[in-house]
């Protein structure tokens, strides 16, 4: 994980930049995975909401529609 440095070793700018680049690479990878998961979940949620609106509107349309029956005598 971390390198053990002798007590008199000074941390240089290059050491800090290398560590930040390492951490940044891990973070970028996790963000990419999270974005894919969020897009998939969002798509499913949108599909479910649209389907429920469609079915609710269809049911309401059937309730409010008038049926006219013509009979010949």
Q: Is the pLDDT of residue 67 over 60?
A: yes
Average pLDDT on 43-70 reads: 85
Size of the chain, expressed as the number of residues it contains: 73
Residue 3 is predicted with a pLDDT of 63
More confident residue, 6 or 45: 45
- pLDDT tier for residue 21 given thresholds of 50, 70 and 90: confident
Which 3-state string (H, E, C) describes 7-59? CCCCCCHHHHHHHHHHHHHHHHHHHHHHHHHHHHHHHHHHHHHHHHHHHHHHH
pLDDT in tens, 23-56: 877 788 888 888 989 999 999 999 999 999 998 8
Average pLDDT on 45-71 reads: 84
């Amino acid at each position: 994980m971390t390198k053990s440095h002798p007590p008199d070793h000074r941390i240089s700018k290059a050491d800090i930049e290398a560590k930040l680049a390492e951490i940044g690479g891990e973070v970028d990878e996790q963000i990419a995975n999270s974005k894919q998961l969020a897009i998939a979940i969002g798509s499913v949620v949108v599909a479910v909401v649209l389907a429920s609106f469609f079915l609710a509107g269809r049911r309401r349309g059937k309730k409010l529609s008038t049926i006219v029956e013509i009979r010949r005598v």
